[in-house]
Structure 1
């Protein structure tokens, strides 16, 4: 049993973070949002036809509905950039929470069945409730995220022997494949494959402001709760014994963390589809930069996740211009090798 009166210095020594990482964390928190704003402006600038930066400024702050360029900025490019910010931040924070609570470096929404669960229930919504409002489709996405996660953790709980990290990755891959196959079957059987193709590929093109008005508050609330939980997640990431010894209510922290993950992932999937590996890669990069304290990991992951998806979306438009590459494919190009590296590092050869 770990004593309950561990000091701040003792907890710091457990983490063994270097001093410069704390300074880097403050740097990201202080100037990261400036980088996000600049990336938003760049995202609005790039497109089938580039828009001058001065016009971007006027289109955002001095909107003229009779100006066609302003309409493109206001109705198409600004919602797309904002979607990248919130989806990227939401997926990165949800991945950070999952990795902290499970102490598993492979944990992320896309790998642990959360994303595919959301997509499966979205397919059900398209097939059986074709006139469902977007607000109600959000509920399907949230329920699906919960079902996907529950199936994965149930398999891990009953599985015997083997490395826990690899078991979680294999169970997540199996459930994700199963739910994706079922989603495809539903799409073919009920002739909604075309509607589902957008969510399979993962993308933020064509997102409207009336969709964002539902998603943005949910993601903001989720990130705020995650920041409030961050100290508890730091303690929980040290191990169940340490957390219990410090008097932490681990069940409450885990339950609240799972709810936050489902909110963030469900909202993100409902608007952008299957954008994988942001929730896996960004928390690892953040942890490398700022250390092991989740009071810094969670807000810094939100900033870096937003920047990463904005950058991936810009790159997706530039790879095969004037045609667009699905942003989910761009994130996968980076994420798959990173996942294989982590799997070998943590669990031996696959």
Structure 2
């Protein structure tokens, strides 16, 4: 093949690749319709989260509490639910976006911050910081959790890249699962030796949004904002990576840099969320698949949709946890596990292990 023929063939491949990104052929009108629907659902769930709890609250108390009054027990209950609702929205959006990016970077349908061990890495780092170094500030919790998430992500990707074929989806899933189990065992070992803090750490380990305050969230907001910004800016790069490394390089992308940048955004989102909520699983697994069914595979749409859908899912899980265990409540980590575990099994059966 002459140099001119090779150039023409390359140009043809690039043209075909550019056509693949919007190939799901989902119209803008349909996407806009689903966006309106999801925003309406989110608004309803926010209202439900504020109104529903272990205590029944009159509508008048809800309006007064929203205006800043806390003169009655009902108004005080609503004032506690408001930051809790906001935290559920932020945590659900963060975990869903992180899961979408992980699936895009690794091209692994089973990728999720919990399954790949990122959440558990952040969790172990926090537990070590509390047990060995007596950290107690919110800022320290966040930095330690982000460091633990980063170390765990690098470790899992390194282990999954060993051997023939590099980092295949199946190897990454197995490496992540094994790492998550090992780190979870270490967490238990560290906690058992400290009876004075074991109760609080065990409760945090379940994963939940109870006890949220605006003061606690102030510390985590800058990290989440940077994480969201990096993630959204990585959308075009993720579209290119979906075509394969060689094709992405042919389109002018620096593959290693694109992966590293997107992964950094994921680490920020997972680490910051785990620091304030504890490890919450399966949100990042379930939401991306649901959103692809609705609006296709274009990450420029998929990431914002995942954020909204993740917020809806975690809000719904929190509301369900309050209702089914009255007068007590179930943490969202337990509810999402009940939803996510069957979904994980369904994906494995649908994809078939040999195809991963």
TM-score (norm 1): 0.92
Residue 303 (structure 1) aligned with residue 308 (structure 2): yes
The residue matched to 1:19 in structure 2 has which SS? Answer: coil
1:205-216 map, 5 Å: 205-216=210-221
Residue 190 (structure 1) aligned with residue 194 (structure 2): yes
What residue number does 2:237 align with? Answer: 232
1:138-196 CA distance string (max 9 Å, x none):
11100110111122111111244699222211111110000000011000123332121
What residue number does 2:3 align with? Answer: none
What residue number does 1:102 align with? Answer: 106
Q: CA RMSD in A?
A: 2.2
What residue number does 2:56 align with? Answer: 50
Instruction: Give the whole-Å Cα distance in 1 for the aligned partners of 2:189 and 2:328.
Output: 29
What residue number does 2:145 align with? Answer: 141
Which of the two has higher C-alpha Rg? 2
Q: Is the 8 A contact 2:106 2:169 kept in 1?
A: no
1:23-62 map, 5 Å: 23-60=29-66, 62=67
Instruction: Select 1:328's aligned residue among 328, 333, 356.
Output: 333
1:124-273 map, 5 Å: 124-160=128-164, 164-191=168-195, 192-273=197-278
Cα–Cα, structure 1 residues 198 and 153, in superposed 2: closer, same or farther, change >3 Å? same
Instruction: Select 1:319's aligned residue among 301, 321, 324.
Output: 324
Q: Is the 8 A contact 2:21 2:297 kept in 1?
A: no
Cα–Cα, structure 1 residues 148 and 10, in superposed 2: closer, same or farther, change >3 Å? closer
Structure 2 unaligned spans of 5+: 1-8
Residue 11 (structure 1) aligned with residue 18 (structure 2): yes
Cα–Cα, structure 1 residues 131 and 115, in superposed 2: closer, same or farther, change >3 Å? closer
Q: Is the 8 A contact 1:95 1:109 kept in 2?
A: yes
What residue number does 1:78 align with? Answer: 82
Q: Is the 8 A contact 1:165 1:347 kept in 2?
A: no
How much does 1:32 deviate? 3.0
Cα–Cα, structure 1 residues 217 and 30, in superposed 2: closer, same or farther, change >3 Å? farther
